[in-house]
Chains A and B, each alone.
Chain A
Amino acid sequence: MRPGRAADPPPQARRPPAVAPVAPESAAPDAPDAPESAAPDAPVTAPVAAPVAADVDVRGLHHTFRPHGSREPVIALDGVDLHVPAGGFVSVVGPSGCGKSTLLRVLAGLLVPTGGTATVGGEDVRGRPGHVAYLPQRDLLLPWRRALANAVLGAELAGVPREEAQRRARPLFERFGLAGFERAWPWELSGGMRQRLALLRTFLLGAPVLVLDEPFAALDAITRRAMYAWLGEVWMDDRRTVLFVTHDVDEALTLADRVVVLSGRPGRVVTEVDVPMPRPRPATVVTEADVVERKRTLLEALGG
């Protein structure tokens, strides 16, 4: 059962900025390092101002690509309904080419769908970027910026002073296993490091909704499990809404409250599975009988 619109929190009067504004106390010139020195063990999320929770709601989403030339139009999404409650963590799995990235691009405001609605915190986001922190499927980094400058890109676009943005970013480099690589150029990083940097940048955006397109696809199994633990912890700390696309059923079951399965192209929701396991979840959670049962349901829905 999905909560109806009436049960949702009332739409925000104004949408929260995509990037957290400068915290007033840290702007004080006399105590530039106060937050770190005062609480070295503060949660990782401390540098980012706590975002206002917002839900994601997609109704009857339909998108047809009409390529130039004589090629046939491609129906990527055909009536997708999806709800992520404020502070919820929903995973979307589905076969390659079923429209998962298309769905996320709509939510990021980059693609105006040919049908249906998409709202974040009650606000229409079709063709309006800036409402969510979006991590594209490719580990896109600006090649002409060093790692640290890439990480603070969002803050810089929002007008946060450079030093302030970098001060927030540095602790996360440690956390993401990127310490010492702050001044490296993107081509000097491994594929997994690039992906972690892109995720770090997305996280720093401080938007109330994270929309992640296969963020761990390029990571080895060990690093990946470490990132699950990290993401789970961070999510429990500040309960940002997360919509997470993956190919990996185990990944979805480890991380999400609910897993949504899309059919092959054109994408439709085939089934939804709740995952009410307690957190933090160890990596072995996928071997628990309850979870194995859910995995069977998901794999069957995926036609495996």
Chain B
Amino acid sequence: MTRAETRGETPRAPRATSAPVPGAPLVAAQDRLAGSEPVAPPVVRGTVAGGTVVRARRSAGRHRARALLARWVPPLLLLAASIGAWELWVIVRRPPAYVLPSPGRIAAAAVDAAPGLPAHTATTLVEAVVGTAAGALAGVAVAVLIASVPLARRTVEPLLVASQTVPMIVLAPLLVLWFGLGLTPKIVVVALIGFFPVAVSTAGGLAGADPDLVDLVRSMGARPGQVLRVVRLPAAIPAFFAGLKIATAYAVAGAVVGEYVAGDRGLGIFITRSSNSFRVDRVFVAVIVIAALSALLYGLVGVAARRATPWLPPTTKERSR
């Protein structure tokens, strides 16, 4: 028997070259990651006729644009309608400006506050980002500890939950007492808020790694540290990002709470001062900035999550396209 025969070249050839089947989802996956994923296209692509790929990509691009419209138009319409109703309400009922300013007045206040706002925003942003990063780092460390040392799970886990029952409003003044008036107490507040969801979520991801995969690498003689690195940590990445998203959603608000207690710069300070001088329109401006910052950070974490998990297959919806 010749080598070619034993290889079974003939029977397998149709499988290997019928690339349109594996190729089609690849194009979708590639588009999903477009702009965020610098990896070279999978080799499979080379087997697809060039024209097919280009056409598929172009139609996928149009599809994307339509999907984007479908996603953003309804919420924007709703937002516009709400603002219109609000404006109308203020015109009809004429509440005092220190109770409910009109959207127009808030816009004017925003223009008015524009020179001072960036510095406040920057301070709050730094506190939120540094605090979340610190909290997430600590959260991952505790999660790894819980996942690798059974004794740690039994001792640390109940304390973790208990620690979350202390309200931040109570803790913040103490933190100022301990850490002074600078950025530190605010960063600590944000870190404490972010720590919990990251720790719990990541610990769940580490523990939930496919036990068969763990067995597989153990059968290859992997040591516990290698099992952690090769199986558990990668398996926990989606869960880590789920926790980080929650942490991020609360981070800016947490920094503002910290600033309420003491400080000389930040959106919390801006709100306190505005509120003390009955400038409710300015309070609204700050609230909008806080919401926008939170949404921005949240979106960035989403992008980071997708970049960190290029191996995840496209969702069922994307795949059926």
User: Which residues on the B side are within 8 Å of A109 (C-beta)?
Assistant: 218-219
Task: Choose from A132, A157, A225, A282 the contact partner of B217 (Cβ within 8 Å).
Answer: A157
Whether, in the assembled complex, B234 has its beta carbon less than 8 Å from a beta carbon of chain A, the answer is yes
Q: Are A180 and B47 in contact (CB under 8 A)?
A: yes
Contacts of A185 in B (CB 8 A): 42, 310-311, 313
Instruction: Collect the chain A residues with CB atoms within 8 Å of residue B11's CB.
Output: 222-223, 225-226
Number of A-B residue pairs with CB-CB distance less than 8 Å in the complex they form:
132
Q: Which residues of A are found within 8 Å of B309, using beta-carbon distances?
A: 144
A65 at the interface (CB under 8 A from B): no
In this complex, what residue of B is CB-closest to A186? B311
A144–B205 CA distance with the chains assembled, in angstroms: 14
Q: With A142-B231, A158-B221 as given contacts, are A230 and B8 in contact (CB-CB < 8 Å)?
A: yes
Which of B42, B212, B230, B235 makes the CB contact (< 8 A) with A138? B212
The answer to whether A280 touches B7 (Cβ under 8 A) is no
Interchain CB contact under 8 A, A188 and B218: no
CA distance A49 to B115 in the complex (A): 71
CB-based contact B8/A180 at 8 Å: no
Interface residues of A, dominant DSSP: loop
Chain B, interface residues (CB within 8 Å), range: 35 or more
Q: In the complex where A177-B12, A179-B16 touch, is A188 in contact with B25 (Cβ < 8 A)? A: yes
A79 lies within 8 A of chain B by Cβ: no
Report chain A residues within 8 Å CB of B26: 188
Residues of A within 8 A of B15 (CB): 177, 190, 192-193, 223
Contact (Cβ within 8 A) A188 B22: yes
The minimal Cβ–Cβ distance linking B285 to chain A, given in whole angstroms, is 44
- A130-B221, A188-B22 known; A226+B8 contact, CB < 8 A: yes
Which among B1, B11, B215, B219 has the greatest number of chain A C-beta atoms within 10 A? B219
**Contacts known (A144-B311, A177-B15, A180-B43); A136 close to B215, Cβ less than 8 A:** yes
B219→A129 contact, CB < 8 A: yes
B216 close to chain A: CB less than 8 A: yes
> Does B212 contact A136, Cβ atoms closer than 8 Å?
yes
Inter-subunit contact B40/A183 (CB<8 Å): yes
Question: Do B43 and A19 have beta carbons less than 8 Å apart?
Answer: no
- Nearest chain A CB to B17 CB, angstrom units: 9
B44 at the interface (CB under 8 A from A): yes
Which residues of A sit under 8 angstroms from B221, Cβ to Cβ? Answer: 17-19, 129-130, 157-158
Query: Which residues of chain A are near B8, meaning CB under 8 Å?
Result: 177, 222-223, 225-227, 229-230
Q: List 29 A-B contacts (CB under 8 A).
A: A41-B3, A105-B215, A108-B215, A108-B219, A109-B219, A110-B215, A110-B218, A136-B215, A140-B212, A144-B235, A144-B237, A153-B220, A156-B230, A157-B220, A157-B221, A157-B222, A180-B16, A181-B22, A181-B44, A183-B44, A185-B42, A188-B44, A188-B313, A193-B15, A223-B8, A223-B11, A226-B11, A229-B6, A280-B6
Extra contacts, 4 of them, besides A134-B219, A177-B15, A185-B311 (Cβ < 8 A), are: A142-B230, A153-B220, A183-B44, A223-B15
Query: Which residues of A come within 8 Å of B, CB atoms?
Result: 17-19, 41, 105, 108-110, 129-130, 132, 134, 136, 138, 140, 142-146, 153-154, 156-158, 175, 177-190, 192-193, 205, 222-223, 225-227, 229-230, 233, 280, 282
